[in-house]
Structure 1
Amino acid sequence: MALENHPMWRLPRHHLDQKEVHEHVHWVELFYDLIHVVIIFLLGNYLSDHLSVDGFFTFAVLFVAIWFAWADSSVFNSLYVSTDVKHRLIMSCQIVTAMVMAASIPHVTGKGWQYFALAYAANRLITAYLYHRTNRLGVETTKLARGVSRNFFLLAIVFATSAFVPAPYRYWLLGMGIVAIQLLYMVPKIGILENKRFLPRLGHMSERFALLLLIVVGEGFFKLVVTLSDKGIYKVDPSILVNFIFGGIAVFVQCWIYFDFVGNGKPKSQAKWTLVNWWLAHLFLMLSAIMIGVALAGEVKAGFWEPYPLKYGVIGCLGLASYLLCLLWIQFNIETRVAHRFATPKVRMVGVALALFTLAVLPHVPSIVGNLLWGSALISQIAIPVTRAYFTFIKEEQAQGL
């Protein structure tokens, strides 16, 4: 067998240049996703320890920055099928940068900032090099790889510079760099999305989104289990154990409504703004999911008749309302499914209204009432569509039998 025919020595190739290409995620990409389990957990811990407007803003900026680093690397792997030895070694270096970012999160507003900023810059520099490599090898003959490589290289310098700039200017520099990346994708006529070769494997990207969503939502399990184990499961009263179980079910239902209605869904077209909406909706969906996961830690902090911890309740209610709106946003931008007949915008708005009503009454009712209201907002998103679908299909089956 010639070396170029073996995956470990085959040069990267744009998926449009291959006769046959699968949509599934390669194990190297899955391993890269693995480190994000730790990152999401530590981000959730940061938010839990800084339940304030400033704390939430810092958490949100960090999440957006890390998400875009993950997403840009994922886009490269979706465009160019890369499995050779050198690519694997490059990805191992990118994993190390993510490890350093994760370790710096607890102290990111202090002495950990330089470590985070430099690791983030290195991460983006590696993505720039991946594109540069395809251009240097002649894999990409258009200006796509060359342009993206140049953009990421220049922005890596910006991110590295932020490591040595005093607060608060360093945060603004980071934010401006993140915004610049997205503008370089979206700007009319000159943006990357205008290039005809910028066509990621949509099935591959939708699978990457689904896998990361599992990691992000699963952070809620971490929060519940770690919080209860720290308190001592043998010390709490039965009502807290009931709340604990309710929290676990809530995490499961979050995944259920994602995968039944939008998970692994491909955009309905290759139109630029359809792709942008699909992309951004997943970003805010995952941000909302972390908010819910952190809020669920409050389940083991109060019994039935105590008020739900207010700060946890606020991010939980707002997170759920945002999560449902993002599901609807994604639903509008993907191919139509049978399930969309029953998960209508009205159903989503019922859940949003219940979540916001829960937020309004939460300070004035015991946690058992708050849980019933919040749980109704979430579970209605499964109960209503499934019930409607059942009776609709029964009627259609009976009509066909006549």
Structure 2
Amino acid sequence: MTNFLQPPRLRIGEEDSAEERRATWLELFYDLVFVVAVSQVAHNLKEDISLSGLLGFVVLFIPIWWSWIGTTFYANRFDGDDVIHRLLVGVQMLTAAGMAVNIHHGLGESSSGFALAYALGRAVLVVEYVRAGVHIPLARPLTTRYAIGFAIASLIWLSSAFLPVPWRFALWGVGIVIDFGTPLTARKHQIGLLPHASHLPERFGLFTIIVLGEAIIAVVNGVSEQKWQVLTVISAIFGLMIAFSWWWVYFDNLGGTPIETARTQGKVGTVNIWLYTHLPLVIGIAATGVGVEEILVSQPTIALADPQRWLICGSVALCSLAVGILHRYGVIRYCKIRSMYRLSAVVVLLAIAFFGKGLLPVAVIALVALVSAVQVIQDVYQSRPNNRLADPEI
């Protein structure tokens, strides 16, 4: 039974960080709203896979992801389970749902509603940080910095709802820069309040699962919209192979390495690299799902159109680039060899996009699946006991 007015408590002391900690039922329930939001923004990209459509997808995806990040980092540091905390999370779920409702025309007639929903979500986060600062003096320098930065960003987003386009979007840009920059300005306050080493990687993994789910949905939707043809079924299998490969690559290398590094060596920057590099990663995964569906609904005996080819190849290349960066800077399993394979995959995928004009849809998705599968094969080979002993960089 939850305590009615139990104040938030610090959850990241040395003793707490050494213990295994799992996502709460409330956090998992909160994630459900973002399943819908990610699905809606992916639907927007399906309707327009041009360069402008891709830009719109990214513009709307960033505040959705950052909303989830804000609540997740707060709960990681100051988790509580009193009635007030549950109600505040409930309001945040409503704001996320409001963003999802306004995504379909999020850069048009619904852009003011999207901005208002995002601004309200950030305002609730500010209330949470102020509350944490009141009850936890040790965390007050950090909570004050976060509350001020996020409050300024929230006011800018709120103001944008009452301005015409394109000034509205100009304020969005200013607001998101302040939102992203606020944690960077509080680095000296973060070192004693680092995230929980087991809980935060799990939460990031759960959001990655959400966007990977879009690839599975894409396969189901793509096959259901087409007559059952051999080439379509083969393409669907390759689509599942792409999703499975990148699930394998990501989760086989996931861990609390950046947090542990920051704690032992005082390198807060590794946590920030880990945080911000996940943005292109999840954008790439979500766009990959759209790319797979576009291939499955294409005519299987006609060469794949340029936008669809660039979408699938570019999206997977972005995933590979992000994972390569995470490897190289040691914010997931540090390994120069794995990083080299990921970056080499980027080059190969872009080459397929550039030189693959005239290829059938099944050929394009087969090549992308092959490149993805090679990453898994390399990791499995390198993880063999004799190879781990021979290579100190694993």
TM exceeds 0.5? yes
Structure 2 equivalent of residue 383 of structure 1: 377
Paired letter, 1:252: F
Does 2:346 match 1:352?
yes
Paired with 1:176 and 1:344, the residues of 2 have a C-alpha distance of 36
Structure 2 equivalent of residue 49 of structure 1: 47
Structure 2 equivalent of residue 225 of structure 1: 220
Q: CA contact under 8 A between 1:206 and 1:266: conserved in structure 2? A: no
Paired with 1:342 and 1:168, the residues of 2 have a C-alpha distance of 44
Q: CA contact under 8 A between 1:14 and 1:139: conserved in structure 2? A: no
Paired letter, 1:83: D
Paired with 2:112 and 2:319, the residues of 1 have a C-alpha distance of 32
Structure 2 equivalent of residue 99 of structure 1: 97
Structure 2 equivalent of residue 179 of structure 1: 177
Structure 1 equivalent of residue 209 of structure 2: 214
Paired with 1:272 and 1:199, the residues of 2 have a C-alpha distance of 8
Paired with 2:332 and 2:112, the residues of 1 have a C-alpha distance of 46
Q: CA contact under 8 A between 1:348 and 1:381: conserved in structure 2? A: yes
Structure 1 equivalent of residue 107 of structure 2: 109
- Deviation of 1:343 (Å): 5.1
Q: Describe how 1:172-321 pairs up with structure 2 within 5 A.
A: 172-186=170-184, 191-195=185-189, 196-229=191-224, 231-232=225-226, 235-262=227-254, 265-267=257-259, 269-270=261-262, 271-302=267-298, 304-321=300-317
Paired letter, 1:329: I
**Number of equivalences:** 383
Q: With structure 1 as the length reference, what TM-score do the two structures score?
A: 0.88
Q: CA contact under 8 A between 1:267 and 1:334: conserved in structure 2? A: no
Q: CA contact under 8 A between 2:238 and 2:366: conserved in structure 1? A: no
Structure 2 equivalent of residue 76 of structure 1: 74
Superimposed CA distance per residue, residues 300-357 of structure 1 (whole angstroms, 9 cap, x where no aligned partner): 12355421232122121111111111112112344674xx669523322332222112
- Deviation of 1:105 (Å): 0.4
Q: Aligned to 1:15, which of 11, 17, 20?
A: 11
Identity of aligned residues (%): 25
- Deviation of 1:261 (Å): 2.1
Q: CA contact under 8 A between 1:262 and 1:330: conserved in structure 2? A: no
- Deviation of 1:30 (Å): 1.3
Which sections of structure 1, spanning at least 5 residues, go unmatched?
397-402
Specify the SS of the correspondent of 1:105.
coil
- Deviation of 1:197 (Å): 3.9
Paired with 2:202 and 2:23, the residues of 1 have a C-alpha distance of 7
Q: Describe how 1:114-125 pairs up with structure 2 within 5 A.
A: 114-125=112-123
Change (3 A) 1:372 1:328: same
- Deviation of 1:140 (Å): 4.8
Superimposed CA distance per residue, residues 209-244 of structure 1 (whole angstroms, 9 cap, x where no aligned partner): 100000011111122212332x25xx2322112211
RMSD across aligned positions (CA):
2.5
Paired letter, 1:259: F
Superimposed CA distance per residue, residues 88-107 of structure 1 (whole angstroms, 9 cap, x where no aligned partner): 11101100110010011001
Structure 2 equivalent of residue 374 of structure 1: 368
Q: CA contact under 8 A between 2:197 and 2:260: conserved in structure 1? A: no
Q: CA contact under 8 A between 1:354 and 1:376: conserved in structure 2? A: no
- Deviation of 1:268 (Å): 5.1
- Which deviates further from its counterpart, 72-81 or 359-368? 359-368
Q: Aligned to 2:157, which of 156, 159, 183?
A: 159
Q: CA contact under 8 A between 1:247 and 1:299: conserved in structure 2? A: no
Superimposed CA distance per residue, residues 250-292 of structure 1 (whole angstroms, 9 cap, x where no aligned partner): 2111111111123565445221221211111111111111121
Q: Aligned to 2:22, which of 13, 21, 24?
A: 24
Paired with 2:126 and 2:311, the residues of 1 have a C-alpha distance of 36
Paired with 1:138 and 1:103, the residues of 2 have a C-alpha distance of 36
Change (3 A) 1:87 1:312: same
Paired with 1:336 and 1:110, the residues of 2 have a C-alpha distance of 39
Paired with 2:197 and 2:116, the residues of 1 have a C-alpha distance of 31
Specify the SS of the correspondent of 1:344.
helix
Q: Which has the larger radius of gyration?
A: 1
